[in-house]
Structure 1
C-alpha cells in the first residue's frame, strides 16, 4: 500500500504536507497538480517495497510469499537430497515470524558495539550460528560484494537450465536494477516441477527463495543481486551483513523496517530465549518488552553443542574484527563479544581496538571501505580451542560489570521490571557438579532438537509418499507424468524407496530413544541419590 506523500512513510504529517503543496500548486495551474501526482506515483512504485511499508506489512507480505513458495514444495522429489545440496531452506518457508518480538528486539540494538545490549548481557548473531541455522557452510572466499560482473542472458539460462530466449523476454528493470518478476519464475518452476525436470525446477525454486525470502528487495521481484549470490552458493556472510546493516540504518533513522531475511534473524534470536514452559506459555500475558527486560544472563540459552568443533572466524585482513558486506552496504561485527554463544568464557571487557565500528551505505562510500572489505576477506583468520582455551560458556564479573555500565550509559529502551541480581565473581571454571549438570542439560536439549528434526523428516517423507501414492495409484496416466518413459514404474520405484527410507528412519528413531533413555536416566537418578 502506498500513500501519496513526499515522505512516503505512511505518516499523517507527510500526507497533510502533500495536500498543502498540491493546493498551493493548484493556485497557479491545475495541470501542475496532475504532473506532480504522476511523478509521485511513478516514484512510489519504483522504490523498494521494504522502504515504504511497516514491519507488520512486510511480515504479512512475507507470509503470502511463503504460502506461494510452499505450494512448490510438492515438486521436491528428494527432500533430504535437496537439504544436502541447498541447506535448510524449506523450514524458512514455514517459520512464523512474530512481529511484536522483532520490533521489540530492534529497540535493543547497540549502534556503538553492533550488538543487542540488554541490562546485564549482550547477544549478537554470528556467522557460525547463521551457517548452522541455514545449513550452508561459509566458503573460504570473498563473499558477494556487488562488484561482480552482471551475468549475461546465456549465463542465467545455463544457471537455471531454461531457454535463453525466455530469459531475454522476461528480464526487466525495477528501481534501477535488473531481475525477473516472481510470477514468471513461479510459472517456470511449476512447469518444470510437473515435468519432473529436477535440475531446472530446483534451480528456479531455490532462486525464488533467495530472491524473495533470503534477500528481499522489491515486492514480487527477484533482482540481479539475488541471482549473483545464488550462482556461488555462499550466502551466509551476505545474510548476516544485511541483518546488521538494516538494524544499524533503522537505529540511525529512528525507525523503519528490518530489510533482511527476517525468518533467519527470528530463528536465531528465539534459539537463545529461555526454553522453560513458564516463559513459553507467558500466562501473565506480558508484552515482549516486559519479557525481554526481565531476562538476565542466567536465563539465556547460551550454547549449543553443535559448535563444539567449529572454527570461529575471528577477524579478516587489516581489521581487528570481521567486516561484513551486505546488499545495501557494509558493517563490522565483533565476534569477540559472542564468545559465550560459541562455548567460550567472557572474562573481561574487550580492548576498544578490537571493537572498531565501521559502517557505510551502498553508494555512499567516500573512504573506499568496500574495496578494503573485499581485500580483508582474502585473508580470513580463524580460532578454535587451541587459541581460545577449553570450552566454558560463562561470564565473569569484570565483563558483566562492563555490560551493566554500558546499559546504564546507553539507556535501555524500556523500564526494568525488576532489579538485576548481582553475579558473584567466581573462578574461571565452574564446579565439577555444575559442569555435569550443564552437560546433562545440553544433552537433553540436543536430544529434543534431534527428535524434532527426525519428526520433521518423517513428516516430509509422509508428504512425499502421499504425493507419490496419488501418482502411482490414482492418476498413473497423468499428462505431465507421461512425459517420461515408463513413468508408472519410475513412480513405483520412487514410492518404494521412500517408504523403505521412512521405515528405516522410524526404526532408527526408536533405537535412538531407547539408547538415550537407558544411558541418561539411570545416571540422572544416580546423581540425585544421597
Structure 2
C-alpha cells in the first residue's frame, strides 16, 4: 500500500482513484463512543515521569518500575514481558484489564519499538480516562508513517496495520454483502468471510495488480459500518485542521477527503 501513497496530498492513488482514511471512519471502526469528540490528545507541559506512570498503572513499587524501564534507540520504553505476568496474575482484576488494554495500544496500535511499550503511548493511555478522543492521534501516526516510508522508500510502518487492512478491505472487497451486525462482538466472522472469499495465496504481485487496475465502480465509497454522524469539515474559518500525534503532527484537509 505504501507504494501507492502520495505524501503531498496525504492519500492513496489507485489507478485514477484517490482515497484516504478519515477521522469518522476510524472512529466507527474503533467504536470510540464514550469520549468527547473534540477533546484531542496534547502532551502535558510537565507530564508525570515514566516511573510514576508505571507505578500508578501497576501498583508496584518505585524500585520495580525503575528496574523495568529500558532505552531502545534513544526511545524510553518498557518490555511487554515485564507486564505480561501482571496481566495474568495481578490481584486487582481492573488493573489486569487496564494493563491488557495498554498492551494493545503499545504492541498493536503504536508499535514503535517491537515487543516494547513506549513512554508516549503510556502517557496517551493515562489520558484516556479524561475522555480524550484517541482517534485523531491514531490516524495521524498512520498517515505520518505512510509518508515517511514512502519518502525514504524504506523503513517499517509504525501504525495499526490491522486497522488499515480492515479499512481498505471494506472499501474494495464489497464487505457490505456481509451484514455489519456480524462484526459487532468479534472479528471471527470477518476472518471466516475472508477465508471463503479471498484467494488462498495472496502475493504482493496480486495486490499491486489489483491496485494498479482499480476502477471507481470497484470501490465501495461509503463502507457499510460507517455511522450517520456530524462530519468534521473545518475548524472555525480554517479549511486545514492540525492533527497532533504522539511523535509529531500534520495538516488534515477534511474537504479533500470527504466524498
TM over 0.5: yes
Flag the 1:216–1:152 CA change in 2: closer, same or farther, 3 A.
closer
Once the 2 structures are TM-superposed, how far is the Cα of residue 337 of structure 1 from its aligned partner? 2.9
- CA deviations 1:265-310 (Å, max 9, x no partner) are 1111111112289x94459977111112222111111213554431
Root mean square deviation, CA, Å: 2.8
Flag the 1:261–1:148 CA change in 2: closer, same or farther, 3 A.
farther
SS in 1 for 2:216: coil
CA distance in 2, matches of 1:296, 1:186: 46
Gaps in structure 1 of 5+ consecutive residues: 1-104, 341-530
- CA deviations 1:18-39 (Å, max 9, x no partner) are xxxxxxxxxxxxxxxxxxxxxx
TM score, norm. by length of structure 2: 0.78
Q: How does 1:21-420 map to 2 (within 5 A)?
A: 105-137=1-33, 139=36, 140-145=38-43, 149-151=47-49, 153-192=51-90, 195=91, 197-233=92-128, 234-275=133-174, 280-282=197-199, 287-304=206-223, 306-316=225-235, 319-340=238-259
| Contact map agreement 1:161 1:203 (CA 8 A) in 2 | no
Gaps in structure 2 of 5+ consecutive residues: 178-195
Once the 2 structures are TM-superposed, how far is the Cα of residue 201 of structure 1 from its aligned partner? 0.5
CA distance in 1, matches of 2:162, 2:136: 16
Of Structure 1 and Structure 2, the greater helix share is in 1
SS in 1 for 2:146: helix
Q: How does 1:360-509 map to 2 (within 5 A)?
A: none
The count of aligned residue pairs is 232
- CA deviations 1:477-530 (Å, max 9, x no partner) are xxxxxxxxxxxxxxxxxxxxxxxxxxxxxxxxxxxxxxxxxxxxxxxxxxxxxx
CA distance in 2, matches of 1:142, 1:128: 14
SS in 2 for 1:222: strand
CA distance in 2, matches of 1:183, 1:114: 36
SS in 2 for 1:246: helix
Once the 2 structures are TM-superposed, how far is the Cα of residue 125 of structure 1 from its aligned partner? 0.6
CA distance in 2, matches of 1:336, 1:327: 24
Larger radius of gyration: 1
Higher relative contact order (CA 8 A, sep 6+): 2
TM score, norm. by length of structure 1: 0.40
CA distance in 2, matches of 1:147, 1:240: 23
Flag the 1:253–1:154 CA change in 2: closer, same or farther, 3 A.
closer
CA distance in 2, matches of 1:281, 1:317: 44
| Contact map agreement 2:68 2:82 (CA 8 A) in 1 | yes
Once the 2 structures are TM-superposed, how far is the Cα of residue 185 of structure 1 from its aligned partner? 0.7
